[in-house]
């Protein structure tokens, strides 16, 4: 994730994919586990809100970090680690939701 905008777009894309697949499942299989698909949609929306909150609250740079090269490097490492953690959580949670949706189809 290069910047805030792309991080938010990634979250929106993955959550939209999960939600659209759940709605597609609900349309194709009206007799199977509608409540479980609705729970997956709720999980996706809650995850999206949680990740947006984490994206918006990334670590802030201290004022002197702008002048000191070592502090600037440390700040950049913190921010990269923060967004890598968000990206990992996004991918793993999305994968879990797709797995649970695929279990419903069987």
Mean pLDDT of 71-86: 88
What's the pTM value of the predicted model, to 2 decimals?
0.84
Residues 1-42: tens digit of each pLDDT: 468 899 999 999 999 999 999 999 999 998 888 999 999 999
The 3-class secondary structure across 66-87, one letter per residue, is HCCHHHHHHHHHHHHHHHHHHH
CA distance 22 to 70: 47
pLDDT at 35: 92
Domain residue extents for the chain: 4-105
Query: Taking Cα atoms as reference points, which of 86, 94, 5 lies closest to residue 44?
Result: 94
């Amino acid at each position: 994730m290069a910047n805030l905008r792309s991080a938010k777009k990634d979250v929106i894309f993955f959550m939209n994919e999960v939600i659209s697949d759940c709605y597609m499942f609900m349309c194709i299989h009206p007799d199977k586990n509608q409540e479980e698909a609705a729970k997956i949609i709720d999980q996706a929306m809650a995850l999206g809100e949680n990740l947006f909150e984490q994206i918006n609250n990334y670590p802030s740079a201290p004022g002197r970090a702008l002048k000191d090269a070592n502090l600037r490097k440390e700040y950049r490492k913190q921010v990269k680690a923060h967004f890598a953690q968000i990206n990992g959580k996004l991918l793993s949670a999305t994968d879990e939701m797709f797995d649970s949706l695929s279990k419903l189809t069987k």
